[in-house]
Amino acid sequence: MRILHIGTGYLPIVGGGIPRYVEGLMRAQAAGGHEVFYLCTGRLDMTLLPRVRRWFMGKVAVWELINPRIEAGAAQRPMRPSLELSEACAEKAVARAVGALKPDVAHIQTLQGWPASLTKVLADLGIPAIYTVQTYQTVCPVLTLYDQVAGELCTDFAEGRRCVRCLAARPSAFKVRMIQRLGIGKLISAVGCRLSAIGTTTAGRSESRMPKAESPPSLPASSPQSEIYRRRREAFVAAMNRLQMVIGMSRRVTEILVGYGVDAARARTVHLVLEDFGRIRRKEPRTPALPLRFALLNKATLMKGAGLLREAFAGFGPDQVRLLVFGTQNSAGEGLLRPLLDSGVAELKGPYRREELDAVMAQVDVGLVPSIWEEAYGYVGPEFLAAGVPLLASRIGGMPDYVEDGVNGYLLPPTDPGAWQAKIRELVANPAEVERLARGIKPVKTMREHGPELEAIYAEAIALMKVGK
């Protein structure tokens, strides 16, 4: 089968779970005998000229659109959202790639950096296409459906007016783009997180300046700016409804998309995997000694629950619990955890390489996924489970898809640090509960199982295109 993947960037230019999933999937498909191609938005340079560079990533032929005119979400603040409706350079790149490669199916991995009109190009060319939704980018310009100004889930974007208020509090996208063009973005990304150094300054200051939830600024009046965000959402929903299938990576993602207008007949839920899952060594269940070692495997931010953890772990001593924070951190994250760091309860363990994951997991008794937003899935959760580490996770977003409450971990309210503290106290009082939860962990799906699952979906998409659906 000839498979064209469409996405945003590649490692190390971009970081996070999406490129890790996409690149792992493409390697597995190429190793399985498929012809695999990757059309992606890519680097920025000072020429400003959009152009396609062709190269190979192992066996995968890459078509990289350099200097895309649409921001790919690095700052989570689009400079020109009107371009997300239709953009000629991107449309031509898709048409050229499809014409040259003649794929049997197109698999859109993310629409960041691409216009909504991309799906019309594929439909007009008669290419069966599916879209795997791994962020809320199509219905939210900041990807998260969370209003950090009001400090709450964004369940109603107020016809675009809430978007205007939320985006006004974010770092300058122009500054981010200039740093990317100067080549600094690639260097920063190489240490594990796209533009993490910018997060130390602009994003970090923005997060620390966010108004308190109890007195957010009032919503602005309707304006041409809010109107473009309303039109943006409508355009992307229409774009998804032109595809043969839209795949949510969790049940909650699928539910949200259908709620915003995606045709339920097109919607599916498929849990994604990372190629690491099949390589992680599972630990033998045991009753841990005190202090219990809890771990966070990503950047400590408000959205990832750093503020929640600060309150939940308050009052414990380092002889009872340890909070191990792995990954690249910035000053804002360290500030959120400062009381725990000063008390000796928390420790910053620094970044780690993927091949060091077994050594990281060997230090952990209980994993934490304390996100306060509707996280689409949270790959760190299945990583903990693959290693035999039970979880405390927020009862929100994709986490309930893999945490069986009381079986392999506990689901807790993301807005109630008292509930988290009470559960931590229970585990400290009864460490044998950690062993019981570890024994309840089932094997995690691997890429070897995920590949045939997608092949069946591709075949279904091709059949649907033939009958005109």
pLDDT mean over 181-196 = 44
Closest CA to 245 of 263, 266, 262: 266
User: What does the pLDDT read at residue 407?
Assistant: 98
Q: How confident is the model at residue 71 (pLDDT cuts 50, 70, 90)?
A: confident
CATH H-level superfamily of 2-273+449-466 = Glycogen Phosphorylase B; (3.40.50.2000)
The DSSP 8-state label assigned to residue 112 in this structure reads T
> Is residue 358 predicted with pLDDT exceeding 90?
yes
User: What does the pLDDT read at residue 292?
Assistant: 98
Cα angle at 51 between 47 and 54, to 5 degrees? Answer: 120
pLDDT mean over 140-169 = 92
How many CA atoms are closer than 13 Å to the CA of 352, on its beta-carbon side?
18
The CATH number of the domain covering residues in 278-439:
3.40.50.2000
**Is residue 11 packed enough to be buried (19+ CB in 10 Å), middle (13-18) or exposed (0-12)?**
middle
The answer for residues whose C-beta is within 8 angstroms of residue 381's C-beta and 6 or more apart is 367, 369, 391, 393, 399, 402, 403
CA–CA distance, 362 with 155 (Å, rounded to integer)? 39
Which residues of the chain form CATH 3.40.50.2000? Answer: 2-273+449-466, 278-439
Rg (CA), the chain: 22
CA distances (Å), 110 to each of 17, 211, 217, 239, 248, in order?
12, 31, 32, 13, 12
User: What does the pLDDT read at residue 183?
Assistant: 58
Round the average pLDDT of the chain to a whole number and report it: 90
> Is residue 121 predicted with pLDDT exceeding 80?
yes
pLDDT mean over 266-282 = 96
Structure confidence by residue, pLDDT tens digits, 391-429: 999 999 999 999 999 999 999 999 999 999 999 999 999
Length of the chain equals: 469
